[in-house]
Amino acid sequence: MALIVQKYGGTSVGSVERIEQVAEKVITARNQGHKVVVVVSAMSGETNRLLDLAKSINEHPNSRELDVLLSTGEQVTIALLSIALIHRGCPARSYTGHQVHILTDSAHNKARILDIDKARVEKDLENGTVVVVAGFQGHDEHGNITTLGRGGSDTTAVAMAAALKADECQIYTDVDGVYTTDPRVVPEARRLSRITFEEMLEMASLGSKVLQIRSVEFAGKYNVPLRVLSSFEEGPGTLITYEEENMEQALISGIAFNRDEAKLTILGVPDEPGIAYRILGPVGKANIEVDMIIQNVGADATTDFTFTVHRNDYKKALDILNSVARELGAREVNGDNKIVKISLVGVGMRSHAGIASTMFEALAKEGINIRMISTSEIKISVVVDEKYLELGVRALHSAFGLEEGSNQ
Ligand code: ASP
Ligand code: MG
């Protein structure tokens, strides 16, 4: 007998019929002798609908009240699922975040979980009751309702699993696992049977939307085995876990890409201490996140500086850079918001040389110009023109043989 936490996302509970299908799946797991905790999201579209209502009054609604509003979406789903379970003869009880004491900090709309009181849940599980918990919500030390940020139900599920020392946390969603890359770009993309926490974290921060980043961090920290599976099809999904010592590690696990990139360059700034700070300080102060940064080797006492930001921040960053350029007497400022970032991710990189050159060769063969490069221990990213995104991802997918199924 195992203790399993199952999480069902918005599409999986998008209608009463689907909620009834979820009830059947939960009952199947319980009939196999497992103790089951279910975490659910709001029905698909509901959180957006609520957000739009608030924004129709004020573009920046009061954050405490917004949490009161948004948390109602999940409350509907827990009740409907419990009604469906009980109707089928399966004992079930629903709980809001507050009722199971999911204690968070007070950062409304993006709160972090601090503690969970598992006593109530454990008592129900002992009695054979299925516990249905509202995702995405908690309360702070003053009893205010908080929410965990978009996609936060994943984090609720992982946190419940960590607190209860569950054998597995299963995230049921509308895809049947984590893929080598987006199958809409590369039809040959393959489902991975497993991936490490570290790799999944990179994939999530590089734009893969399968899981909320925080949930992966949490799972890694507390070593919660996490499995992504489809609500609609049978299958083993993808297991996210620690790197196993003797396991033959795939060189590259996946290719992530991000279309929302823009780059800015300031040319001919003095090559002296404090320049990076004078350029990037004002950008940071404006709350603009900077991703890649490159500074050229200085020639004749001046240097050039390039960095990337989210495309939404491009105009704002360009204005800031133009005024910095005037202050510093820079030669020129230019920018490009038609660029994308493509990244190779794999823990196998640590122990293998030559991955970067294989990557660059594959892109060169397609005549794709690389505009920026950055590397870390388990990732290599390049910035290329937007028009090369599909071609670049496909070329790399085949250069590294990702369609071949070694990881199945
Ligand atoms: N309902 C919330 C959202 O749409 C939380 C979640 O689905 O995980 O972001
Ligand atoms: Mg979600």
Take residue 12 and report the two structure tokens written for it. 């999986």
- Nearest CA-CA partner of 161 in 1, 7, 23: 7
Query: What is 245-282 written as a DSSP string?
Result: TTS---S--EEEEEEEEEEEEEEEEE-STTHHHHHHHH
Nearest-angstrom CA–CA distance, 350 and 244: 14
Binding pocket residue ranges, ligand 1, CB within 6 Å: 9-10, 41-42, 47, 73, 135-136, 150-154
Q: Which ligand 1 atom is the nearest neighbour of the CA of 41?
A: 7
pLDDT in tens, the chain (408 residues): 899 999 999 999 999 999 999 999 999 999 999 999 999 999 999 999 999 999 999 999 999 999 999 999 999 999 999 999 999 999 999 999 999 999 999 999 999 999 999 999 999 999 999 999 999 999 999 999 999 999 999 999 999 999 999 999 999 998 899 999 999 999 999 999 999 999 999 988 876 778 889 999 999 999 999 999 999 999 999 999 988 766 666 789 999 999 999 999 999 999 989 999 999 999 999 999 999 999 988 778 899 999 999 999 999 999 999 999 999 999 999 999 999 999 999 998 888 888 999 999 999 999 999 999 999 999 999 999 999 999 999 999 999 999 876 444
42 CA to centre of ligand 1 in angstroms: 6
71 CA to centre of ligand 1 in angstroms: 9
Residue with tokens 């780059």: 263
Q: Which of the listed residues 110, 145, 150, 216 should we mutate to test ligand 1's pocket, taking the one with most ligand atoms within 8 A of CB?
A: 150
- Nearest CA-CA partner of 253 in 347, 156, 361, 134: 347
Q: Please list all protein residues whose beta carbon sits less than 5 angstroms from ligand 2, which is an ion.
A: 9, 151
Q: Which ligand 1 atom is the nearest neighbour of the CA of 148?
A: 5
User: Residue of the nearest CA to atom 8 in ligand 1?
Assistant: 151
Map out the domains of the chain as residue ranges. 3-174, 255-399
- Looking at domain 255-399, which CATH architecture does it have? 2-Layer Sandwich (3.30)
Question: What phi and psi values does residue 103 have, to the nearest 5 degrees?
Answer: -85, 130
- Cα of 246 vs its chain's centroid, Å: 28
The H-or-E segment that residue 358 falls in is: helix 355-365
Q: Which ligand 1 atom is the nearest neighbour of the CA of 150?
A: 9
Q: Which CATH number fits domain 3-174: 3.30.200.20, 3.40.50.720, 2.102.10.10, 3.40.1160.10?
A: 3.40.1160.10
